[in-house]
Amino acid sequence: MIAPQSDLRTKLERAVAEYEASGNVGVLMERLHTVRDGATADALVAAVEPWRDVPEVAGPIYERVVAEQPTNARALVILANAYWLSGRGPDVVGALADRALAADPNNRGAWHMWALTEANQRDRTIRWIQVVERFPEDQLAKAALADNAASLASAEHDKEAMQLAIRTYEQLLAAATSEQQKTALETALATLRKWTL
C-alpha cells in the first residue's frame, strides 16, 4: 500500500525534527530512505516541498524522484542544487544540469546550475552572459554575471570584463527596488570605478 501524502509529510517532519535535535546524518538518511522507498515520486515531491532547500533532506528524496522520472527537469535541478550545497562538486552537478537542459531547454534553474558549475573564471563569465541573454529579466543571473565579471577583471586585469561588470551593476541599480539593494550596488559601483587595471 502506498502511504498517503499527509503520512509522508508527517514522517519527513519527524525525521527532520530528530535530525535537528541530534545532528545525526546517518539516522536521517536511514529515515529518509525508508520514507522514500514506499512512495511514488509525485507524492514525495509534494511531501518534501517544505524542505526542498535543505540539501540533506532534498538530496535523498530527489534521488528517488529522478530515478523514477529521469526527464523531470525541475527534479533534476533541485537534486543538482542539493548536491551543490552539500559539496558534491561541479562534475556531478554539471551532469545533472546538462540532463535538465536536455529535458527542458527553457528551465532557468538548469541554466543557472550549468553556469555555476564551470570551473574556469572566464568561461563561467561567458556562461553567465549566455544566461542573461536568454533570460534578460533574470536579476539573479545579472548579479552572478556582474560578480563573475568583476572577479575576472580583478584576477586578469581585464578592462573589458571590468566594463561588463560596471554596465551590469548599473542595470541592476536601475532595477533595484529597495534602499538596501541600491546602497549595496552603489558601493560596488564606486569601488569598481576606482580600480585601475
Note the pLDDT tens digit of each residue in 143-176: 999 999 999 999 999 999 999 999 999 999 999 9
Distances (CA, A) of 100 to 84, 105, 153, 183: 15, 8, 31, 36
pLDDT band at 4 (very low <50, low <70, confident <90, very high): low
CB atoms within 10 A of CB 137: 8
pLDDT in tens, 97-152: 999 999 999 999 999 999 999 999 999 999 999 999 999 999 999 999 999 999 99
What cell does 44 get? 514525495
Rg over alpha carbons for the chain, rounded to the nearest Å, is 20
